[in-house]
């Protein structure tokens, strides 16, 4: 599943090609994604894209009359291509631009989304209840510790709760907890303030490094220009169960938490 760094890399990749460019056509080949694509999306024909933003894992294409919200789901990719590019299987949605480029969504599993938010609507439905962005000033020392007070949920599950903080998905939660020396099974409320503050800085560092290196290479994700990301080469625990820890050479262990893989070092990480 594309995580926050992959979506941010996608935003950075597509922005120069579509900002201030006028939409000449909207092509919906399959309305039935995670939610039906609303007809209102076609109202952007004739309008330029004013900006491309990201909130959590949503891409927000801003227009004068509203916003097209896009989510990549489990397997979606968004790429800027030439208009005459051959249509592939699972190419469900196109924004066609007057300058000859097309923004195309391909989504084999159809868990992604294309939605419309008019300017006179608030963002209560999908965005308003989300926690802070992990790279923002709001996500600072003291925040996680206060949020975790008296919480018995495992720290990894706590970090992946979008109401706590957005975008700390499975891959990067594994990596951050390893670097912080915290077991993924530790109760969130039992982690002391000093370690929580350290974890906060590590999360920022891990995500920033992933964005800088182009996102994690996942078989279902490519950057907007078609090149894969390269951060997977730097992963220290995720996907390495049974291999030696890069720090102490102990065999890495793997458990399942909330139907997700948690890989950790039983020596370097502790409650």
Name the catalytic one among 3, 6, 8, 175: 3
* 2 a catalytic residue: yes
Residue 109 annotated in ligand binding: yes
Name the catalytic one among 54, 147, 204, 260: 260
* 260 a catalytic residue: yes
Structure tokens at 113: 């989304």
* 57 a catalytic residue: yes
Answer for the pair 216, 5: CB distance below 8 angstroms, yes or no.
Answer: yes
* DSSP states of 7-51: HHHHHHHHHHHHBTPBEEEEEES--BSSSBPPGGGGGGTT-BB-E
d(CA 239, CA 223) in angstroms, rounded, equals 21
Answer for the pair 164, 131: CB distance below 8 angstroms, yes or no.
Answer: yes
Residue 240 annotated in ligand binding: no
Q: Which of 244, 241, 221 is closest to 231 using CA atoms?
A: 221
Name the catalytic one among 5, 8, 57, 104: 57
Structure tokens at 204: 């920022």
- Sheet order of strands, 66-71 included: 51-55, 58-62, 66-71, 113-118
Residue linked to tokens 């608030």:
122
Query: Three-state SS for 169?
Result: coil
Residue 90 annotated in ligand binding: yes
- Residues tagged in the binding site annotation for DNA: 90, 109, 151
Catalytic residue ranges: 2-3, 57, 260
């Amino acid at each position: 599943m594309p995580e926050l760094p992959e979506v941010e890399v996608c935003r950075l990749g597509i922005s120069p090609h579509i900002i201030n460019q006028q939409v000449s056509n909207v092509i919906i080949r399959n309305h039935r994604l995670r939610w039906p694509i609303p007809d209102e999306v076609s109202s952007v024909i004739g309008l330029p894209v004013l900006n491309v933003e990201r909130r959590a894992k949503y891409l927000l294409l801003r227009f004068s009359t509203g916003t097209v919200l896009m989510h990549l789901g489990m397997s979606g990719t968004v790429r800027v291509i030439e208009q005459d590019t051959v249509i592939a299987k699972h190419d469900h949605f196109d924004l066609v631009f007057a300058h000859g480029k097309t923004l195309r969504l391909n989504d084999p599993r159809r868990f992604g989304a294309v939605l419309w938010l008019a300017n006179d609507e608030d963002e209560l439905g999908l965005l308003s209840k989300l926690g802070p962005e992990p790279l923002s000033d709001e996500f600072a020392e003291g925040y996680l510790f206060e949020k975790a007070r008296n919480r018995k949920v495992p720290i990894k599950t706590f970090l992946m709760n979008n109401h706590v903080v957005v975008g700390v998905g499975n891959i990067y939660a594994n990596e951050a907890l390893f670097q912080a020396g915290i077991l993924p099974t530790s109760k969130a409320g039992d982690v002391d303030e000093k370690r929580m503050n350290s974890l906060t800085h590590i999360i920022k560092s891990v995500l920033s490094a992933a964005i800088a290196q182009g996102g994690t290479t996942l078989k279902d994700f490519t950057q907007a220009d078609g090149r894969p990301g390269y951060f997977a080469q730097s992963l220290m625990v995720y996907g390495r169960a049974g291999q030696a820890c890069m720090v102490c050479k102990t065999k890495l262990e793997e458990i399942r938490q909330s139907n997700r893989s948690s890989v950790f070092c039983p020596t370097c990480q502790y409650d």
